[in-house]
Amino acid sequence: MTQHATAIESWSEQFHRFERNGAETGPAWLRDVRRSAFSDFERLGFPTARKGNEPWKYTNVRPIAESSFALAEYAQAASAGVDLHAYELPCPRVHQLVFVDGHYEPGLSTEPVSEAGLHSDVLARRGDGPVVGRLADAIEYRVPLVREHLGRLAPASGNGFTALNTAFLRDGAFVQIPEGTFVPEPIYLLFISTGARTVVTHPRVLIAAGADSSATVLQSFHSLDGGTYLTNALTEVVTGPGASLRLCTLQRESNDAFHIATTRMEQARDSRIASVVVDLGGRLVRRETATLLGASGASVNLCGLYHGAGERHVDNQTFVDHAAPGASSNEIYKGILDGSSHGVFSGGVLVRPDSQHTDAHQVNKNLLLSSDAEVDTQPKLEIYADDVTCTHGAAVGQLDADALFYLKSRGIGEDVARNLLMHGFVSEVLDAIEDGAVRQHVEEAVSGCLGGSG
Amino acid sequence: MTNRTVQELAEQSYKYGWTTEVEEESAPPGLSEEIVRWISERKGEPEWLLEWRLKAYRHFMRLLGDAQLPAWANVSHPPIDFQSIRYYAAPKPKLELESLDEVDAEILKTYERLGIPLEEQKRLAGVAVDAIFDSVSVMTTAKETLAKYGVIFSSVSEAVKEHPELVKKYLGSVVPHSDNFYAALNSAVFSDGSFVYIPPGVRCPLELSTYFRINAEGSGQFERTLIIADKGSYVSYLEGCSAPMRDENQLHAAVVELVALDDAEIKYSTIQNWYPGDDNGKGGIYNFVTKRGKCAGDRSRISWTQVETGSAITWKYPSVLLQGDHSTGEFYSVALAKGRQQADTGTKMTHIGRNTSSRIISKGISAGHGNNTYRGLVKVLPKAEGAVNFTQCDSLLIGDQCGAHTVPYIEVQNRSASVEHEASTTKVSEEQLFYCQQRGLAREDAQSVIVNGFVRDVVKRLPLEFAVEADRLLEVNLEGTVG
């Protein structure tokens, strides 16, 4: 308990330093949001796995609570050594924003941001292409959407991590797709950690897709070097009626890093979100993905892949809230667990009263490759309407011995055969990435990972 | 579904709701060390058992003091006042009964009305019955036949006197007093229950059966059942329950412990039909039960089959500890929640030994304002090589005011395990109803046929007499629910 108290103390010091150091440049409302978020954090502290706290039953964040992290100072030189080549998407044009240790890097980003480009009058116009810019600019130029949605979907009071993210909110990415706009090229948000020890970043992303718009957004988290640091990301997504949004997250943090990510989505009538998350790195990973299907015809497809190696602990929590009739959801999460890694999956589906004609399906499958690996899976259905079709399934096993034998009998070596089977296992998730360039990029990352462990 | 049918469903009469006029002796309401001592003294228990009770009592009071009541289940009820319950009630006079003729005629009538063939025992000898009336066991039939095979089937109180070594060895060995809140309470105040011991190599010639009846007002029932199947033996045990209709909520907190040694098999079937309360959720039994079996020996097998149609609240997780190599645990369940009933039930399968397997089939039916939750844990420990589990949980919704929930936990710590879980939730499909109707079945009969098909996998596991009763119970309970 005392250790906990000192941890909060050190965050408190940091918060006051952060406020003095430049947070005063922001508008008054934002200062209030931050302060109230920080008092939420002081009240909540970090989540504990104590009895009765079901969502944190399998994940202990004490290593985070007991470490002290500092915000990275902005260093001009930080980006100089960054070779972006390895992170490039295989397509001619992207909208790209790059953050290094939490700071925006104009030199590496493709989107020159002008005041005009972010101005609210301009934004409303159809066919202008997407706005991909800094959240700090959007706040400064008083983009109305920011005030409307920031912190609404993911209230700071949710848990200690969302509270901290909001308390330290200064910059991040703001993506807006105007009504009726189709964006053919991927929007790429790249968060790089230099691996400087004990740095904390609080990446914040707000994505607003207007009515009948369509776009692909890739969020990518990388580390240049090893190192123990904390990434505490928070993404809010809101879609207008008929919008189609494809979201992909690729997480390749260092093997000593902590990665906490919260994504909250809200979907309007007939909108569609296809989300794919791929976790390949980190020491302790906790990812919460939740969507509110608030109007009829909304649909969501949540896919996930997590690879556990070494001591990694990777925890995926999903929640689909069917709050309107005639919405549908589909979920496929797959895990490959090797070494002494620990995989956790908890998938909640809530069908509220009167949400008739709901179609909800969920599958979680896990491959245990090592005798020290562990997996805990918990698919949950909570249903209060009768005219529904809901299913869920979960499976834990190892590579099919018959399939392995078949391949070997065809002259394929054991290692190659195992790799083939693992690729077959993950392809169901990767195939859900619709954008070709993004899929190729993620597939390469996954191959690199599985090849090494196979 | 129309309002009319919802109402009809909720008003479905509970046919076991009468009380029996019989003079009772009971403890004053409240829980204290004195009460625990009083119960123990009343039953002429040895010192070690009193100590055991007191240990549980102290643990329970500590939990109660820390307000550590289990709050994780998906049920809601007003706080229970543990000081207002009478922890012991027994028909008077309590004599040593030699034969059926000595049992109070009123009690015999009660069981007759419940359809338990106590009187016919001598002739038919199909089932050996232990009948528990409120807190004490009134009689155990067919004892002689069983004695011939060396089978011990008696009340726990009797077993404490006659077979203390067995009771001492196994009581609390599967469900320790510190297991959970209600198990602690039960361990402190348990009044009676059934005790079964099957000697090595014996296949019990009769289906053993216990019938539980709560009669007294303001009392709770805290029975404790202990079944031990020694090496290579087999026993099938049935349990049925009912209670009068009352406005108050009565607490039933039982503990059932099963122990199966090498090559032994225990089949435990329950038809639970406690009074569920009226259509506004007033009254009814709180059925907070801890049931657990231990497959202690290699190749042992424990199977739970339950049909849960009664109780205002059911909180029950019959579990199996798969300790012996090649042991098997099974759980087959039908749970029905209608009216304002809340059922939170499921199982825990803990794989400890090598090459163990478990199978879970759960069928939940929700109607009216009922809420039905399947909550289960499948845990494979690191040493449990080759563990196999298959789980299927299906829910059927009848009416748009009810809820069906599935909360499985799967924890696997051994890579050679193969664990599968499947769940689905649907309503009775219009196509199926239409198909049956165009074959000339009335809509209501059609639904009954479909429901019967839905629960078939479970009901077919029940012994024949019980299967018939289960079908009939479901039919009666679902009358008027057709959408």
For A365-386, how does the pLDDT look when each residue is reduced to its tens digit (9 = 90+)?
999 999 899 999 999 899 998 8
**What is the C-alpha radius of gyration for chain B, rounded to an integer number of angstroms?**
22
Q: Is the dihedral of CA A120, A124, A125, A129 positive or negative?
A: positive
Q: Which domain holds residue A430?
A: 399-454
Nearest to B421 among A385, A386, A393 (CB): A393
Which pLDDT does position A149 carry in this prediction? Answer: 92
Shared domain for B292 and B369, answered yes or no, is yes
pTM of the full predicted structure? 0.85
Domain final position from A237, A255, A282: A282
> Predicted confidence band at A91 (pLDDT cuts at 50, 70, 90)?
confident
Say if the Cβ atoms of A375 and B411 lie within 8 Å. Answer: yes
Which pLDDT does position B8 carry in this prediction? Answer: 46
Say if the Cβ atoms of A396 and B418 lie within 8 Å. Answer: yes
Q: Contact at 8 Å (CB) between A151 and A166?
A: yes
The lowest-confidence range among A60-74, B20-34, B124-138, B269-283 is B124-138
Q: Which of B66, B410, B427 to mutate to test the interface with A (most CBs of A within 10 A)?
A: B410
Is the bond leading into B408 cis (omega within 30 degrees of zero)? no
pLDDT in tens, B278-306: 777 778 888 899 999 999 999 999 999 99
Say if the Cβ atoms of B420 and A395 lie within 8 Å. Answer: yes
Nearest to B417 among A387, A393, A396 (CB): A396
Residue B114: inside a domain: yes
> Predicted confidence band at B19 (pLDDT cuts at 50, 70, 90)?
low
Which 3 state secondary structure label does DSSP give A353? coil
Residue A290: inside a domain: no
Q: Which domain holds residue B84?
A: 20-427
Domain final position from A247, A282, A317: A282
Mean pLDDT value of segment A8-36: 84
Highest mean predicted confidence (pLDDT) among A152-156, B238-242, B243-247 = A152-156
> Predicted confidence band at B86 (pLDDT cuts at 50, 70, 90)?
confident
Distance CA A154, CA A236 (A): 7
Closest CA to B319 of B329, B307, B309, B333: B329
Instruction: Provide the number of structural domains found in chain B.
Output: 2
Any chain B CB within 8 A of the CB of A347?
no
Mean pLDDT value of segment B433-444: 91
**Sequence-distant contacts of A155-160: CB under 8 A, at least 24 apart:** A156/A33, A156/A36, A156/A37, A156/A40, A156/A41, A157/A40, A157/A44, A158/A262, A159/A44, A159/A47, A160/A41, A160/A44, A160/A45, A160/A46, A160/A47
Chains A and B form CB pairs within 8 A to the count of: 117
Q: Please tell me the distance in Å from A395's CA to the nearest CA on chain B.
A: 4
Local structure of residue B86 (DSSP, 8 states): B
- With 80 as the cut, is the pLDDT of residue B211 above it? no
Shared domain for A10 and A143, answered yes or no, is yes
Pairing mode of beta strands A173-177, A204-209 = parallel
Residue A233: inside a domain: yes
B211, containing H or E segment: strand B207-213
Average pLDDT of chain B to the nearest whole number: 82
Which 3 state secondary structure label does DSSP give A232? strand
Residue A291: inside a domain: no
Shared domain for B408 and B441, answered yes or no, is no
Distance CA A163, CA A427 (A): 36
- With 80 as the cut, is the pLDDT of residue B397 above it? yes
DSSP B374-411: EEEEEEE-TT-TT-EEEEEEEEEEESSS-EEEEEEEEE
Q: Please tell me the distance in Å from A375's CA to the nearest CA on chain B.
A: 5
Shared domain for B405 and B415, answered yes or no, is yes
Number of H helices, E strands in chain B: 12, 24
Which pLDDT does position B469 carry in this prediction? Answer: 74
A445, containing H or E segment: helix A436-453
Shared domain for B456 and B375, answered yes or no, is no
Mean pLDDT value of segment A274-288: 96
Say if the Cβ atoms of A379 and B405 lie within 8 Å. Answer: no
Distance CA A240, CA A268 (A): 5
Domain final position from B427, B445, B469: B427
Chain A, residues 395-414, CB within 8 A of chain B, namely 395-398
Domain final position from A261, A282, A303: A282
Mean pLDDT value of segment B352-371: 93
Shared domain for A278 and A403, answered yes or no, is no
Residue A392: inside a domain: no
Any chain B CB within 8 A of the CB of A338?
no
Which pLDDT does position A24 carry in this prediction? Answer: 59
Shared domain for A270 and A418, answered yes or no, is no
Residue A183: inside a domain: yes
Total number of residues shown for chain A: 454
Mean pLDDT value of segment B79-96: 70
Average pLDDT of chain A to the nearest whole number: 88
Distance CA B266, CA B302 (A): 5
Residue B375: inside a domain: yes
Q: Which residues of B touch A380 (CB under 8 A)?
A: 405-408
Which pLDDT does position B4 carry in this prediction? Answer: 43
Shared domain for B422 and B465, answered yes or no, is no
Helices B181-189 and B47-65: crossing angle in degrees, nearest 10, is: 140
> Predicted confidence band at B356 (pLDDT cuts at 50, 70, 90)?
very high
Residues 6+ apart with CB under 8 A from B407: A378, A380, A381, B74, B346, B373, B374, B375, B376
Residue B173: inside a domain: yes
Which pLDDT does position B125 carry in this prediction? Answer: 36
Distance CA A450, CA A453 (A): 5
Domain final position from B412, B427, B442: B427
Say if the Cβ atoms of B419 and A395 lie within 8 Å. Answer: yes
Q: Contact at 8 Å (CB) between B250 and B208?
A: no
Q: Contact at 8 Å (CB) between B160 and B137?
A: no
Shared domain for B378 and B453, answered yes or no, is no
The lowest-confidence range among A35-39, A110-114, A131-135, A142-146 is A110-114
Nearest to B400 among A369, A386, A398 (CB): A386
Shared domain for B352 and B467, answered yes or no, is no
Closest CA to A90 of A389, A449, A433: A433
Residue B41: inside a domain: yes
Shared domain for B166 and B139, answered yes or no, is yes
Residue A359: inside a domain: no
Residue A100: inside a domain: yes
> Predicted confidence band at B39 (pLDDT cuts at 50, 70, 90)?
confident
Closest CA to A308 of A255, A353, A261, A246: A255
CA distances (Å), origin A235, targets A24, A165, A175, A238, A262 = 23, 10, 11, 10, 6
> Predicted confidence band at A411 (pLDDT cuts at 50, 70, 90)?
very high
Which pLDDT does position A386 carry in this prediction? Answer: 85
Closest B-chain CA to A387: B427
Shared domain for B187 and B74, answered yes or no, is yes
Q: Which of A342, A374, A396 to mutate to test the interface with B (most CBs of B within 10 A)?
A: A396
Q: Contact at 8 Å (CB) between B403 and B369?
A: no
Residues 6+ apart with CB under 8 A from B283: B245, B246, B247, B248, B249, B275, B277, B312
Local structure of residue A186 (DSSP, 8 states): P
Token pair of B467, please? Answer: 């299967």
Q: Contact at 8 Å (CB) between B438 and B313?
A: no
Shared domain for B437 and B415, answered yes or no, is no
Instruction: Provide the number of structural domains found in chain A.
Output: 2
Nearest to A374 among B400, B404, B413 (CB): B413
A211 or B447, greater pLDDT: A211
Closest B-chain CA to A390: B425
Pairing mode of beta strands A199-201, A187-193 = unpaired
Shared domain for B374 and B479, answered yes or no, is no
Highest mean predicted confidence (pLDDT) among A6-15, B61-70, B269-278, B364-373 = B364-373
Say if the Cβ atoms of B400 and A353 lie within 8 Å. Answer: yes
Shared domain for A225 and A82, answered yes or no, is yes
Shared domain for A63 and A189, answered yes or no, is yes
ipTM of predicted complex: 0.81
Residue A394: inside a domain: no
Token pair of A370, please? Answer: 């090592």
- With 50 as the cut, is the pLDDT of residue A339 above it? yes
Q: Please tell me the distance in Å from B283's CA to the nearest CA on chain A.
A: 24
Q: Which residues of B touch A389 (CB under 8 A)?
A: 424-426
Chain A, residues 276-335, CB within 8 A of chain B, namely none
Domain final position from B406, B427, B448: B427
Say if the Cβ atoms of B423 and A385 lie within 8 Å. Answer: no
Q: How many CA atoms lie within 13 A of B475 on its CB side?
A: 14
Chain A, residues 27-86, CB within 8 A of chain B, namely 52, 54
Q: Please tell me the distance in Å from B70's CA to the nearest CA on chain A.
A: 9
Which pLDDT does position B427 carry in this prediction? Answer: 86
